[in-house]
């Protein structure tokens, strides 16, 4: 990224006068501006130094605007593939507008450029970009929380299983069987048995189900003594 706190806009237009006018307009609006005159150079610049937004002329020598966007949107780096793009077109027809949007542009501005319209559309795209990045960060945090929770539950499950007897007790004249199947990773209910000194057998059950994962884990870690 360019070393600046301001939004960076790459202007791609083969007309030097148009580029100069756009660069001055963007600078006066507080943006950092870079320029190039053809699609191939634009792709190289974006992959080397990702801009905040691309201002792209539809009619370019070599790769035209649609071809540049096709390559951009298929980039293996999601950050590059999702660069907001406003297409500049010299045709104000509906057909031209459809072509811009179908090519992958986020918005379009018709030449000659209206400065107020261009600034408004740039601000809109940058705001959407900021919101998308914030959502991605929140999703990453949520995914990290989910992984931590699953790891903790897996550890609690192993602890719980270690506390449950693997074989039923042997009692003369009796056939004892047991089956334990929690409906979630950690069911708070556990059971066991203990032979008393007088020969009797004490069966016990601890019930923590229905009180949440914390209570279940607490019951697992602290069975009745």
Tell me: the pLDDT tens digits for 154-181? 887 787 777 788 888 888 888 888 887 7
Specify the pairing of strand 107-110 against strand 85-89: parallel
Among 129, 141, 13, 123, which residue's Cα sits nearest to residue 80?
129
8 A C-beta contact, residue 61 and residue 32: no
Query: Considering the chain, what percentage of its residues have pLDDT values greater than 70?
Result: 85
Q: Which residue has the higher pLDDT, 73 or 178?
A: 73
* Letter string b/e over residues 36-52, b meaning 16 or more CB atoms within 10 A of that residue's CB: bbbbeebbebbeeebbb
Of the candidates 46, 208, 225, the one whose C-alpha atom is nearest the C-alpha of residue 217 is 208
Q: Identify the bridge partners of residue 11 per DSSP, sorted by sequence position.
A: 35, 55
In sequence order, the 6+-apart residues with CB closer than 8 A to the CB of 164 are: 180, 190, 191, 192
Which residues are within 8 A (CB) of 123 and not within 5 positions of it... i.e. 6 or more apart? Answer: none
- CA 138 to chain centroid, in Å, comes to 7
Mean pLDDT of 27-53: 93
Q: What is the pLDDT of residue 209?
A: 55
Q: What is the pLDDT of residue 35?
A: 94
Other Cβ atoms closer than 10 A to 100: 26
d(CA 78, CA 204): 56
What fold, for 8-139? Answer: Rossmann fold (3.40.50)
Confidence of residue 220 (pLDDT cuts 50, 70, 90): very low
Over residues 23-47, the mean pLDDT reads 93
111-117 contacts: CB < 8 A, separation 24 or more? 111/18, 113/21, 113/22, 113/25, 113/88, 115/25
Distance, in Å, from the CA atom of 166 to the CA atom of 169, rounded to the nearest integer, reads 10
> CATH 3.40.50.2300 residue ranges in the chain?
8-139
Q: Is 54 helix (H, G, I), strand (E, B) or coil?
A: strand
Among 18-27, 91-100, 143-152, 176-185, whose mean pLDDT is lowest? Answer: 91-100
């Amino acid at each position: 990224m360019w070393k600046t706190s301001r939004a960076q806009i790459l202007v791609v237009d083969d007309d030097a006068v148009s580029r100069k006018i756009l660069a001055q307009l963007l600078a006066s609006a507080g943006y950092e501006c870079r320029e190039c005159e053809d699609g191939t150079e634009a792709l190289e610049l974006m992959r080397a130094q990702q801009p905040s937004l691309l201002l792209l002329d539809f009619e370019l020598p070599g790769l035209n605007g649609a071809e540049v966007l096709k390559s951009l949107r298929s980039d293996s780096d999601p950050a590059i593939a999702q660069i907001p793009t406003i297409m500049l077109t010299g045709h104000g027809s509906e057909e031209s507008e459809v072509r811009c949007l179908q090519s992958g542009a986020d918005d379009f501005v018709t030449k000659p450029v209206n400065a107020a319209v261009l600034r408004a559309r740039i601000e809109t795209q940058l705001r959407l970009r900021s919101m998308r990045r914030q959502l991605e960060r929140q999703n990453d945090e949520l995914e990290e929380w989910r992984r931590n929770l699953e790891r903790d539950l897996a550890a609690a499950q192993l602890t719980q299983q270690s506390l449950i007897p693997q074989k039923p007790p042997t009692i003369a004249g009796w056939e004892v069987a047991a089956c334990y199947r929690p409906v979630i990773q950690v069911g708070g209910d556990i059971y066991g048995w203990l032979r008393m000194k007088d020969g009797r057998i004490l069966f016990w059950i601890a019930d923590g189900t229905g009180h949440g994962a914390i209570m279940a884990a607490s019951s697992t870690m602290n069975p009745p003594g």
